[in-house]
Amino acid sequence: MTLQIRKTAGALGAELSGVDLAGPLSDAQIAEIRQAFVDHQVIFFRDQALSPDQQRAFGRRFGPLNIHPYVAGMADFPEVMEVIKEPQDRTNFGGGWHSDMSFLERPAIASILHAIEIPDWGGDTLFASQAAAYEALTPGLKAVLDGLNGVHSAGREYSAKGHSAQKRSSMVVAEAEGVTGEYIHPVVLTHAETGRRALYVNPAFTERFDGWSKRESKPLLDFLFEHSRYEAFTTRFTWSPGAVAMWDNRSVWHFALNDYPGQRRHMRRVTIDAA
Ligand code: SIN
């Protein structure tokens, strides 16, 4: 296979063409896609037609699939999550900067999102390279961050007591009462496949630095959250029906824009766990 690869921005992102993800795909084809994925951090495909089964099969070529602890998957395909905003919904799923599943003990490495129905306008997804964000810091701050761990929790997003924007959308949220699990991850992750270092804190799920109080953590976290979404670290994807985005949660934040009131948006996501 010869993939055509066109970068979408300086910091991250590439659109790939010349492949039908419905398969069958050889190991060599998967290796080529995987290489583009780690090189560009988020990759995009147009005009794909994946059934839930085919999307699941494609995802499984990259590792075991995650079953979301708080959002119900499709009845026959529990690994496939429907990301839907109905015309009457005010909030959307993923409408803030985050990395998927950083609140787990073993966070997801990748997510694959497939557009089924898109609004006539709006509903783009933004992506921000946390590798570029880390590399832009001074040696002094890098040295401080290199020694820190972050405490991550799903509580703010998914518990009944939390902000729970997700619960007000049409997404089916499984019982999230008593979300108390906190997991600790390095603030700077070294990518297992590239060795590239990236910031690994995010506004949705990072509560504080390990060993620091929330109050002590807030100023530095606020700085990092502001810094990490600087425009030059981002790329923006305008969806078309059938488009697919596959991003690396180890080094990329994403943000689903909620700028299409009164319209429906329907996507399907599979999420890949560390092997
Ligand atoms: C998500 O956070 O996975 C949803 C992204 C999107 O719908 O664009």
C-beta of residue 113 within 8 angstroms of C-beta of residue 197:
no
pLDDT of amino acid 114: 98
Q: How close is the Cα of 125 to the center of ligand 1, in Å? A: 7
C-alpha span between 235 and 59 (Å, rounded): 23
Residue among 160, 165, 164 nearest 177 (CA): 160
Q: Which two tokens stand for residue 127?
A: 């992506």
pLDDT of 219 above 60? yes
First to last CA, the chain: 26
Residue among 94, 163, 158 nearest 126 (CA): 94
pLDDT of 70 above 90? no
Domain extents for the chain?
A: 66-272
pLDDT of amino acid 255: 98
C-alpha span between 111 and 143 (Å, rounded): 30
Task: Give, using CA atoms, the residue closest to atom 3 of ligand 1.
Answer: 94
pLDDT of 159 above 70? no
265 part of the active site: no
Instruction: Output the pTM of the full model.
Output: 0.95
132 lines ligand 1 (CB under 6 A): no
* Residue pLDDT, tens place only, 189-212: 999 999 999 999 999 999 999 999
Q: How close is the Cα of 144 to the center of ligand 1, in Å? A: 32
Q: Ligand 1 test: best mutation among 91, 125, 205, 249, most atoms within 8 Å of CB?
A: 125
pLDDT of amino acid 57: 98
Task: Return the CATH number of 66-272, one of 3.40.50.1010, 3.40.50.2300, 3.60.130.10, 3.30.1490.480.
Answer: 3.60.130.10
**What's the length of the chain?**
275
68 part of the active site: no
20 part of the active site: no
Confidence of residue 69 (pLDDT cuts 50, 70, 90): confident
C-beta of residue 274 within 8 angstroms of C-beta of residue 100:
no
163 part of the active site: no
Place of tokens 């953590």: 217
220 lines ligand 1 (CB under 6 A): no
Confidence of residue 176 (pLDDT cuts 50, 70, 90): low
* Residue pLDDT, tens place only, 5-24: 999 999 999 999 999 999 89
Q: Give the active site residue among 185, 254, 265, 268.
A: 254
Residue among 157, 170, 148 nearest 221 (CA): 148
